[in-house]
Amino acid sequence: MSAGPPVSIVMAAHNAAASVGDAIDSILSQSFTAWMLLVVDDGSTDATYGVVSDYASRDSRLRLIRNHSNRGLACSLNAAIAQIRSDLIARMDADDRSLPDRLQVQTEFMNDHRDVDVLGTAAILLGCQTASHAIFDRPERHEDLVKEIYLRNPFIHPSVMFRRAFVNRMGGYAEDLRRAQDYDLWLRAYRSSVFHNLQRPLIEYRMRRRITLGHAASTARVLWRSARREGIAINHAWRVIRPLVAYFARYAGYKARY
């Protein structure tokens, strides 16, 4: 099969008719234009499919995949990635926006740093009322990200760009997980891959206002199975149950760490 454009973007959308157009517009406005966008309509019951279909009819770089039932983020992303032949894959969520230079900056960095497998960025928080808290970031270098990996997710998921070879080597996202699929992927990968975060915000990111019990439980689950896989479950017992403790204690800072 012939190679695709240098970069492909994968987005899953479920009942996102109100926001998916803005997300797509942010990709159409990129300074870097050699891309393909794959949008998976994951069993939406609103007008998501029609909105994305309209965009696809007007720009051949956009492809639409439709799940007739809601299969979840991991299944949807894996289905899109299976169709990609680009060397670089960027993530995007249907309720976020990419800033105009995002793909250009990340592509140049990945081309200049062939050892890096996954590249994230900082983000501007959408709906943030306090300017001093409007920028959300993660540590920059691999060694610092790894040092904290059992304390917090090393990436803002919709900001990442990774190599197709990397995600194929890791076997994609774990489809048995409905939440925290990205955290699970990074935990499986960090010992054999190189991570990096740009400190420049390149996306506008809509963060959940309050963590849910389901997300806290999923985070604890992926931490536990990673610790068991590495034979360090006892050493990391507190860190594994920490998301659940934080949820029940209503720890105000938790949402900013996961």
Q: Predicted confidence band at 252 (pLDDT cuts at 50, 70, 90)?
A: very low
DSSP β-bridge partners for residue 205: 125
Handedness of CA 69, 7, 191, 82 (dihedral sign): positive
DSSP β-bridge partners for residue 42: 67
Q: How many residues does the chain have?
A: 258
Average pLDDT over residues 247-255: 43
The average confidence (pLDDT) of the chain is 88
**What is the model's pLDDT at position 208?**
62
Burial class (CB in 10 A: 0-12, 13-18, 19+), 134: middle
Distance CA 48, CA 13 (A): 7
Average pLDDT over residues 68-82: 96
Average pLDDT over residues 142-153: 93
SS3 89: strand
**What is the model's pLDDT at position 185?**
98
SS3 149: coil
Q: Can you tell me which residue has the tokens 């007739």? A: 68
**What is the model's pLDDT at position 167?**
98
State how far Cα 210 lies from the chain centre: 19
**What is the model's pLDDT at position 206?**
85
**What is the model's pLDDT at position 165?**
97
Q: Predicted confidence band at 248 (pLDDT cuts at 50, 70, 90)?
A: very low
Tokens of 217: 């439980």
**What is the model's pLDDT at position 216?**
81
Q: Which has the closest alpha carbon to 21: 45, 43, 49?
A: 49
- Provide, for the chain, the percentages of residues in helix, strand and coil under a 3-state DSSP scheme, each rounded to the nearest 5: 40, 20, 40
Q: Predicted confidence band at 236 (pLDDT cuts at 50, 70, 90)?
A: low
Number of Cβ atoms within 10 Å of the Cβ of 3: 8
Structural domains in the chain plus CATH codes:
7-207 (3.90.550.10), 210-258 (no CATH)
